Amino acid sequence: MHILIVEDEKKIAAFIRRGLIENGFVVDVAEDGEQGLEIAMARKMDLIILDVLLPKRDGWSLIEELRQAGIHTPVLFLTARDSVPDRVKGFDLGADDYLIKPFHFSELLARVIALAARAGATR
């Protein structure tokens, strides 16, 4: 299973990447929204872990453009934006899950595995 992490906080991105690789996933990382959009449009990903507050392009506009382009890769928002309206907006834009920072890696992993199972992806 190939996962794209779009996260500008390098320590968080490295932590998630390392944990996912240790659990058998292939992982790419984008440090801003523009780079994330380019990768997501150019390569087949099985899952995107997406922050909202990103340089160059926010996560809201990134998922919106992917969905408008007909790309329905599962998206898990991982963000500090924790209000109910933010979570609802994420789902309205096409997110499949929404996890708030700070988070426990075990919960993130469980959500990744559940999304992969629903999408029929394999590690």
DSSP string, 16-74: HHHHHHHTT-EEEEESSHHHHHHHHHHS--SEEEE-SS-SSS-HHHHHHHHHHTT----
pLDDT for the residue numbered 116: 87
pLDDT in tens, 46-97: 999 999 999 999 999 999 999 999 999 999 999 999 999 999 999 999 999 9
| Parent domain of 55 | 2-97
Residue-level pLDDT at 121 = 59
Q: What is the mean pLDDT of the chain?
A: 95
Q: Give the predicted TM-score (pTM) of the model.
A: 0.95
Is residue 93 in some structural domain?
yes
Total structural domains within the chain: 1
Q: How far apart are CA 103 and CA 92, in angstroms?
A: 22
CATH number of the domain within which 78 lies: 3.40.50.2300
